[in-house]
A and B are shown apart, each in its own frame.
Chain A
Amino acid sequence: MYLLVVFAPLLGALTSGFFGRKIGEKGAGIFSSACLILSLSWSALIFYETTLNSSTTYIKLWRWLDSDLLTTYFGLQFDSLTATMLIVVTSISTLVHIFSTAYMDGDPHLPRFMSYLSLFTFFMILLVTSDNYPQLFIGWEGVGLCSYLLINFWLTRIEANKAAIKAMLVNRVGDIGLVLAMFTIWEEFGSLDFSSVFNAAAVAAEGPSTESHITLICLFLFIGAVGKSAQLGLHTWLPDAMEGPTPVSALIHAATMVTAGVFLLIRSAPLLELAPLALMVVTVVGSMTAFFTATIGLVQNDLKKVIAYSTCSQLGYMVVACGISHYSISLFHLMNHAFFKALLFLSAGSVIHAMADEQDMRKMGGLIKSTPFTYTMMAIGSLSLMGFPYLTGFYSKDLILELAYDQYYLAFAHWLVVFSALLTAFYSIRLIYLTFIADTSSKKEVFMQAHEGSWNLTLPLVLLALGSIFVGYLTKEVLWSFQATLPPIIPISIKLLPVIFSLLGATSAFVLYHCSTRAFSVPTPAISLASYAFLYSAWQFNYIINYFLVRNVWGLGHLISYRVLDKGVLELIGPKGISDRMIQLTQGISNLQSGLVFNYALIILIGAAVFIWGTVWPLY
């Protein structure tokens, strides 16, 4: 049973991948979804057993890395963290599978798509269930690989190719961090199992010299998390990854891949606790990410990009929660976020489906009349994202803000995330307003044909909406119990602040868009246009990285390793230089034979003279 939860998605992936031709498009969809449902039901049981009955399970499968200094088993570990992640991953993935059978209906490569989705889920489950770092790294690289395959699903589009390569390469930067962290952990503790490492770290922390090593380990781990979870600096791949189909965005960028970085931080919590400096870095980077991406989300016009930037922003919240040592709250927010973000992405998919593959919000509007169901779902998701009281997002998001205030030495982080809560509310309402409420600006024939999808498109939305409403309330006691968490004692005004800010942001967005289009035209001075362009281009991050880093590295690669080394030095002392020299030499020698008889005579005489000189002369 424990193995089945891991390997059922693999079975689905292999079957629909290798035998997709045999079982057909419908069969691939049904079979892989069925495997996922199986996995989901078992993971619910695992949640019951490991979390509610608090019986952690370890399964050692076989010896894997086995040398003198390092023994690592291929093993599975089911504790409450893993069980929670399993619930999140399998439930979201199941719903995405069902959604894809409707959304991708008519695509000729549906079996391949379902295969990739299932393979992705398999690697994610492998990631969360592993009991050591190298096995986690298999899942880590596996989800990176599958994200490449999925973003690149429509492989004839050049944009999709570029986005997939970018996702792969930017992730690799973070992966180097994880690899370095593993090397350092092994060098420091001699083991890579979680249980051994954390115990050894707790013991070693008594000694004076190890603190800097543990800080180094945590910083390397954080670099890994930055790459995977799209934190500030390595976030540029996430918005570009919207080139993939919408269910892919829902799976990768809501529930699974980007949460892997946060999962790594939560899993390595015993190490992070020993490194206060690293925690400080984590908090600062997380809060800056939350704020920075929220400002970008304000002005994006692509429906999916708005949601992608809000994903970045929410990941910033989770990282802040890790940085202030409230790991279970981070996990709680991760879980809640998975539900409402998947709901938002799938609703966006529903909108795109209804609008005949139009993604630009400026070409939408008025959909509230033709697709009221999708509007309801999107509204539930957005309200939950804003942290509207008594919805799922409220229970985790506002708690993170309060806890951040409690860490008085990081007031910086608190105010950044509170302000980004305002921005979150603003762009959520902006999205709803432009898509559903504003006067339509879409083509007439598109607008006339806007419709709700079939049952397998709407059923996942309903289930996710239920999750977005109830999950936070239902599971809060369970998740708080992982780590002793008390809501902090802080002024009532600070407690109310996030809600007030959210409502303020929501109202101002509505008023601004509602009135500015009807009553008056907003004056646009140059500074606001410039700041709009600045925000729209994501603070020019891509430009800066491309101009100062990528271009220089590229040029250096061409100049040094291609022109100087490969085509220069190595060619000169290697094949080309030597052969050129030999040809030159033989040419010179054979030029001695000029064809003129008296030259031959001269050469013969000189040769004879030299011979006599050499043999006879030394005798004297």
Chain B
Amino acid sequence: MVLSHRLGEWAGHAPVLEEEVALANIALDLLGQARVLLSLAGDEDELAYLREERAFRNVQLVEQPNGDFAHTIARQLYFSTYQELLYERLARGGGPFAPLAAKAVKEVAYHRDHAEHWTLRLGDGTAESHERMRVALESLWRFTGELFEPVEGCEVEWDTLHTAWLARLTSVLERATLAVPEGPRRGAWAAGAGRQGVHTESFGRMLAEMQHLHRSHPGATW
């Protein structure tokens, strides 16, 4: 839901019309997945609009501001690669999320494909796009460790998921003439923090915008 919201901020601002369509399409898929998940837990709107920042359990990666197009693509590459591998495993695992994961994996495969194609174009495009893509990958790197912290209720082998993610990422970045960033990504705040309700500063502002109208009319239906 949070990543969908961020992608929704691109509407009317994308670099080409085709990307207006693509980014909105991805945002819609993610919102659809979020609505199914939230409905499993309770009332979707109550959960989306009436929880405060500390009660949100999303990873910090998805709440990161859009930045330039390269930042959006880097965030999308890290996350959709992870999502595809995770959903494949959840779909096979037969647990409570298997039906949702089986449907969503087709959507996120498309998101991952889109992110990879743009990573190649930007990485192996012009000197400027290469540099912007490199900076974006570096600056978001420290939010990737959290993706592989075990989540309660999710029976997944997190270490092998991580190995598969890194292998996929390495092969794409090599083809894009880029390198896998170095540096810490399991620091005290970045690892597991979002899952514990500890977020980055821009997140509260995002929620203020998202929740304002709903909160101004308590009990109303829309």
Chain B binds chain A: no
